[in-house]
Amino acid sequence: MKLRPAVIEIVVADMAAALAFYRRLGLEIAADADTEPHVDVDLGSLHLAFDTRETILSFNSDWTPPSGGHGMALAFACDSPAQVDAAYAELTGAGATGALPPWDAFWGMRYAVVHDPDGNPVDLFAPLA
């Protein structure tokens, strides 16, 4: 059996807050999507889906949010180390929680981590050279 990745799903408590955060990262999401229970974003060969907790509970009444740490993380490539710093500053300035401020990682990248409105880590990175 050969399967291919097609969708990454993020379960959100507040759709409008989640979508506003991901719009700041450059995702094109229609403004009228803020009130929808499910939102699908085409990323080319992959889709990113957002579902409210209520949507998940509508078909899986046993679902509970993860506890003790995050259940997923996303990473966004930046064009330069300076863009990592700028993106971190913009996101935290707009209210996102900064988890790890920008640093030069030993693996040769400028790296930073912020949390989305649901506490999921979002990595920002760019090669140092």
Q: Is 50 exposed, middle or buried (0-12, 13-18, 19+ CB in 10 A)?
A: buried
Task: Domains for the chain: give ranges and CATH numbers.
Answer: 7-59 (3.10.180.10), 74-127 (3.10.180.10)
Query: What average pLDDT does the structure give for the chain?
Result: 94
In whole angstroms, give the CA distance from residue 52 to residue 83: 31
- Residue numbers of the chain with a pLDDT score lower than 50: none
- 47-77 confidence digits (pLDDT tens): 999 999 999 999 999 999 888 888 789 999 9
Query: Looking at residue 10, what is its pLDDT?
Result: 95
Which residues have C-beta within 8 Å of that of residue 69, sequence separation ≥ 6?
none
Q: Three-state DSSP class for 90?
A: helix
Query: Looking at residue 98, what is its pLDDT?
Result: 97
Which two structure tokens, joined as six digits, stand for 19? 């979508």
Neighbours of 59 (CB within 10 A): 7
Query: Looking at residue 3, what is its pLDDT?
Result: 65
Query: Looking at residue 74, what is its pLDDT?
Result: 93
Query: Looking at residue 81, what is its pLDDT?
Result: 97
